[in-house]
Structure 1
Amino acid sequence: MPTNETAAPAARPLASIQVDNLLINFTTQFNRIWDSAGSGSKKGSFWRPLPSADLLPGYFPLGDVVSPGFENINESNIVAVVCEGVPENGDTSKGKALGVPIDFEQVWKDSGSGAKADITIWRPIPPDGYVALGMVCSNGRDKPLRNTVRCVRADLVIASPANRMIWDDRGSGAKKNFSAWSTSPPSAPAGEICFSPGTFVGINNHTRPTGDVAYSLRMKIATRTRSSIVAPVLTGYEPPAADEATTVTKIAYLPWFTVIDPDLNAVEQLRTSAFYRLERSDQYELLGYGHNTGAISKTFQWSASKVQSAEMLSEFTGITSIRTETEWPLIHLAHVSTVNHLWTASIQFSARLEKSFTHTEKSSDGWSRVTPVEVVAIAPKRKLIVVYRLKSVYRLFREDGTQVASPINYCDLDSLYVAEFPPEQGDNICAAENHSDARIVGTSIS
């Protein structure tokens, strides 16, 4: 029998993701619509997401949810819900983010199944310029109310293929076949996240559908340039300090579902750290210096070791899921579900940080290239030259400021900097390839 199984809502409002005039949030509350008990098929149940009226006023589901079992999924499953927002840039020319379905098309009914209750599954028919991201179930044979779900403006989503089968009716005896599939987001462009809402795709056979049969939501990764790193300035012939000041230069804000938090399950993440903060701190690190006291130019040479470690990078990625050198998809759903116990993974994603944030705009293999480099520089007569490299440290923080995992380091040997004293025309530092006096003449792998 269908039952109303709900749990107490979260204790505080949840921070929303805003994409133009679309607001995206998440709910852990559901109402059971139907299960396959008595049908002869394997266990499966269908649920309606219930955005909290207190915490998520104005939010609507994008579709219903399938679970491969009879267990109550409240407080264990998480799906996206949406709300109409105000455009951040004030531009209303694109129209509303959400549209009400103009009708519903029947996809399946359980006639002949012998199930204890009836179900009919419907595909929302969106208005022009909008798409449906899920299907809607109803007890009995009546169409759902049009206000049950919302469709999303087409420019706010991305076409996606089906991923894995969640449930099918084999063995039920129903007159028509049916199977329900999750959505697999495509590879995200740089600086974006593509993620499935947690709804399902339903078809009238038991074979995986081909092509792009569904849609995923998409969003920009919010980033902020906090400050610029200050170049070192030499004021005399004294040997320079080994390390210059460290400056937090860039911050990326990552939604909770893109991070595996070793100390929190997914529901706890959603409620206590809806966004994580990935900070990049930059520092000019001393590579070497030389004081040419003679009357002719002099050559100096230093060995520069990389600070990035393949082992540390692998550990950081394994704990957090974040990849710095390429896109990172969440492909180990079974692992997440086992570790977190409470979470039936339904939201899948693909993400990619901006290349300028991760240094990969200059060297895609920079994170894995750890061979020392020999640096050769020429110092003009009677000058002190100092060569620096840029060192970046990446740290991940929860909303409360606690750190997740150990930091990872990156050293950029593609952009070496040289300073000299006395300076030329008041210019103490510049990129080596543009320097007109003291200069780097070569780098080579040891």
Structure 2
Amino acid sequence: MTTHEPIPSPAGQVDSIKIDNLLINFTTEFLRVWDTAGLRTKPAAFWHPTPAPDLLPGYFPLGDVAAVGHGNINGKRVVVVAREADTPSADPSKGKALRRPDDFELIWKDAGSRSKRDLSIWRPIPPEGYVALGSVCSNDHEKPSFNAVRCVRADLVIASATSEPAWNDKGSGARQSISAWHAVPPTAATGEIHLAPGTFVGFSGYTKPENFLVYSLRMQIPITVNPKPAAPLLCGEVPTQPEAPDQPTYIARLPWFTIKDPLLSPLEQLSGSPFYLLERTDQYLLVGHAHNTENESRTFRWVAPRAQRAGSLRSFTHNTSVEFGAQWQTNLPNPFLFSARLNHDFTQCEIHSNEWLNAVAIDVVAVVDKQKSVAIYLIQSDYRLLRTDGTPVTSGFSYTDGNSLHISQYVPEKPEVIVVPEQEPEAEMTIDTQATNDEPAAPLPEPELPTATDTAP
């Protein structure tokens, strides 16, 4: 079962993430709208995302970007863009994933400052049931185009906190004041990713209003589940090792921004490995076997080592940032602020579970009936993280499920005993010689035929 699937894109395009009828992708191309050159304020520039029509046809920005400094961010910064999927929502009552704003509300303009170029910053007013994820800039004092941004359906986002202000206009001399903020995603629920879009939200003044909400995108981690390995059967007195599985039992598909790749930069991940596969492969391993040749029950004992090692898991987390039994996140706005948490069924541990740190061997005791054989098995899960091209990101690690004990018993078949019935002795034949010589023997009486009876009711 796959909770949601990435949508394959034509050659040269990065696969999109599909959430219901919303497609999410990323752009590194921007148009500079305005910067603070000539103003006595903290250096900053405002940029409008411009997804390339040949690579991202039909994609819209969710807001503009505020960057500290005047340097060119093209090819260096990443921001979310979105478009409507070709297929409608699974729930027809929900409607489209994206809508254009109904109007814009002015937040700030540079009137009174010494800027050589005009700038105004606007808040999109979303239709009912939709939210705006970012503010929009205009290089004059007129409202932006309604095609400059799209609002997202409310069930596809989650309310978020805000970061420290990324920029404010203190010292600009403008008649109005403004501060720019980023969304900070909340703690992710199990099996989910909360992603800040990379846009900025402008507030009038330098203090954030208490009742103003900002949002992050909400998506689930897609999990593919394949059939679990069949429990092994003991078919003789000596067991054989179960066959290795030919496919992973679980596959979690993680977007590039959730992974710290030791060999690739974030932008190289976006272009070269937009998705990572975290695979879990379950298999039965033989713990021990016994053949009780005596005529009474016997007790047998084995010791099964656990595969989990705290050092292996810590090394994996250090190299990739992925946590087991807890959320993982980044505190850096570039490329994104996000929070993520794997499904508990996939990781085999609850939030506060310590089984992953338990390396104590497992004692197994079995009572074997007379003249019978048994084999004892446990399930071991092997994890590995792969790039899009199939290369491993770092060393894998394993986990032994102490609750997966499986016992298979073999009872030898008893040899089949063939019983031959005794034959009755043949009767001796007596010949009446007198009847033969003197006169014919009396004929035998004819057998009496049964009388027909009507048994019908």
TM-score by length of 2: 0.83
Bigger mean CA offset, 170-179 vs 351-360: 170-179
1:418 equivalenced with 2:418 (yes/no): no
* 2:373 aligned partner: 384
Tell whether the 8 Å contact from 2:44 to 2:167 is kept in structure 1 after alignment. yes
1:101 is aligned with what amino acid? P
1:136-215 matches, cutoff 5 A:
136-207=136-207, 210=210, 213-215=213-215
Q: 5+ unaligned residues in a row in structure 1: which ranges?
A: 1-9, 334-343, 425-446
- Tell me the residue number matched to 1:357: 346
Q: Look at both structures and tell me which one has the larger radius of gyration over its CA atoms.
A: 2
Does structure 2 conserve the Cα–Cα contact (< 8 Å) formed by 1:325 and 1:365?
no
Counterpart secondary structure, 1:406: coil
Report if aligned partners of 2:113, 2:173 keep a CA contact under 8 Å in 1.
yes
Letter in 2 for 1:371: V
Following superposition, the deviation at residue 373 of structure 1 comes to: 2.9
- The answer to whether the 8 A contact 2:187-2:327 is kept is yes
Is the contact between residue 189 and residue 351 of structure 1 (CA under 8 Å) also seen in structure 2?
Answer: yes
For the residue of structure 1 that corresponds to 2:158, the secondary structure is: strand
Contact 1:162-1:201 within 8 A present in 2 as well: no
The change in CA–CA distance for 1:381 and 1:361 in structure 2 (over 3 A counts) is farther
Contact 2:326–2:351 under 8 Å retained in 1? no
**Residue 81 in structure 1 maps to residue 81 in structure 2:** yes
Q: Once the 2 structures are TM-superposed, how far is the Cα of residue 89 of structure 1 from its aligned partner?
A: 6.7
Taking structure 1 as reference, are residues 245 and 89 closer, same or farther at Cα in structure 2, changes over 3 Å only? Answer: farther
SS in 2 for 1:77: coil
Q: Is the 8 A contact 1:325 1:367 kept in 2?
A: no
Q: Which has a greater percent of strand?
A: 1
Q: Deviations over 1:30-53 (max 9, x none)?
A: 001111111111111110001111
How many residue pairs get aligned? The number is 403
Matched, 1:329 2:329: yes
Q: Which amino acid in the other structure matches residue 77 of structure 1?
A: R
Residue 178 of structure 1, CA deviation: 1.8
Change (3 A) 1:362 1:44: closer
CA contact (8 A) 1:159 1:212 kept: no
How far the C-alpha of 1:380 sits from its partner, in A, is 2.1
Q: How far apart, in 1, do the equivalents of 2:283 and 2:212 lie?
A: 45
SS at match of 1:93: helix
Distance of 2:411 and 2:46 partners within structure 1? 75
Amino acid at match of 1:41: T
Task: Tell me, in whole angstroms, the C-alpha distance in 1 between the residues paired with 2:44 and 2:365.
Answer: 67
Which position in structure 2 is the counterpart of 1:396?
385
**Aligned partner letter, 2:224:** R
Q: 1:102 to 1:252 in 2, by over 3 A?
A: same
Deviation at 1:207, TM superposition (A): 3.6
Deviates more, 1:39-48 or 1:356-365: 356-365
The CA RMSD measured in Å over matched residues stands at 2.2
Partner of 1:232: 232
Per the alignment, residue 316 of structure 1 pairs with 316
Question: Structure 1 residues 91 and 394 mapped into 2: Cα distance closer, same or farther (>3 Å)?
Answer: same
Q: State the alpha-carbon separation in 2 of the partners of residues 79 and 227 from structure 1.
A: 38
Tell me how far apart the structure 2 counterparts of residues 174 and 408 of structure 1 sit (CA, whole Å): 58
Contact 1:162–1:209 (Cα < 8 Å) also in 2 = no
Q: Which 4+ residue blocks in structure 1 deviate beyond 6 angstroms?
A: none
In 1, distance between residues paired with 2:357 and 2:117? 57
Return 5+ residue gaps in structure 2 as ranges: 1-9, 414-457
Residue 47 in structure 1 maps to residue 57 in structure 2: no
Paired-residue identity, %: 50
